[in-house]
A = this chain, B = another copy of it.
Amino acid sequence: MTQTPTEIPDVPPCNRNRQVLLSARPDGIPQASHFEIAETSVPEPGPGQFRVRNIYLSIDPAQRGWASSEANYSAPVPLGEPMRALAVGVVDASRCDSVSEGEYLYGWFGWQDFAVADPSAIMLRADLGLPLAQFGGLVGINGVTAYLALTLCGRPQSGDTLLVTTAAGGVGSLVGQIGRILGCRTLGLTGSDDKAALCRDAYSYDAAWNYRDTDIDAALADAAPEGINVFFDNVGGPMLDTALRRLAVGARVVQCGTASVPSWTPPPTGPRNEREILTRRLQWSGFVIFDHMAILPEAARQLAEWHAAGRIDLRLDVLDGIEHAAGSIADLYAGRNTGKRLVRIV
């Protein structure tokens, strides 16, 4: 059932296209200095194309990989091009039968005011009764990632103990809430006392800790004496190593990010984990949302349904002005966001 989004900002007329270009190749985490803003004319759609006026630019941890020249699951963004990004916008011109002027879309529209695209760039049509910004949030890639990675790879059973890293973040805060809906006891690790409190109070975690001042091994041993059944990891590194050694036999590990590792060149080292995999009979899976595009609308509908029932929410951290995009990836990795970071540019 198609619905109209709510809380739609006013979109004033505009006759220039501001673009946030990748101007230098980052070694590790992209900083504001790796980008510059340029201005060009508003592009015109060709046959079979449409033009989107962007409203919310999405800031995602995966952009680090897209900006990097290291082998990855997508080709690196060329220097001098607008930064690859998801965005929520409104179609303001269309020469494409399947896309109508006035339609709200979430897709690959980049860090810029206007994008010319064809339908393959659409991730999701914003046709659910949610605040418009949540199409870059609750049902955006972080939301559908949380839902699909947890259910497809984590396979939680009612009564399982679920541990989540970056537990207050755009993915983690949803994993915790979905885990609770599915009957799990939920434990969260996050980067500040405030966020740990938020995990407990707003995201219904049964327990949450600030990893910076917690003996994680002792906390997990105490909170999950029988072991952890599902480990949803967004960070990698030493926190992963510690958690692996507190997993129950048969536990599932979902590798959804490696946010704690600042650079993979040269490859960092750590304790060998293959014996843990063997003796605990772990099932450790890597998850990338782009393998699951066909089932995104279904996942989005489930999340919107839980949202309508008041069972799930995503805190948005919206900055106003395109100049905030460039530094926002680094903000995520430094934990300077609270919830899902978006940049509003109208």
Contact = CB atoms under 8 A, between A and B. Distances in A.
A261 B255 contact: no
A280 B291 CA distance: 11
B286 A285 contact: no
Oligomeric state, in copies: 2
Contact of A71 (B255, B279, B288, B291): B279
A281 B286 contact: yes
A76 to B, nearest CB: 13
B281 A287 contact: yes
A284 interface: yes
B282 A258 contact: no
Contacts of A249: 73
A236 B274 CA distance: 6
A75 B288 CA distance: 39
A10 B267 CA distance: 59
A236 B281 contact: no
A4 to B, nearest CB: 36
A249 to B, nearest CB: 8
A15 interface: no
A53 B250 CA distance: 36
Interface in A260-312: 261, 264, 267-288, 291
Interface residues of A, number: 39
Contacts of A275: 236, 258, 261, 264
Contact of A279 (B72, B233, B240, B267): B72
A90 interface: no
A256 interface: yes
A237 interface: yes
Contacts of A286: 276-283
Given A279-B71, A281-B288, A286-B278, A271 B268 contact: yes
Contacts of A327: none
A327 to B, nearest CB: 24
A284 B288 contact: no
A45 interface: no
A291 to B, nearest CB: 6
A257 interface: yes
B272 A261 contact: yes
A153 to B, nearest CB: 8
A124 B318 CA distance: 63
Contact of A270 (B269, B280, B287): B269
Contact of A258 (B250, B257, B269, B274): B274
Nearest 9 pairs of A and B residues by beta carbon? A236-B274, A278-B286, A277-B286, A281-B286, A267-B271, A284-B284, A255-B277, A255-B278, A270-B272
Interface of A: 65, 71-73, 233, 236-237, 240, 249-250, 255-258, 261, 264, 267-288, 291
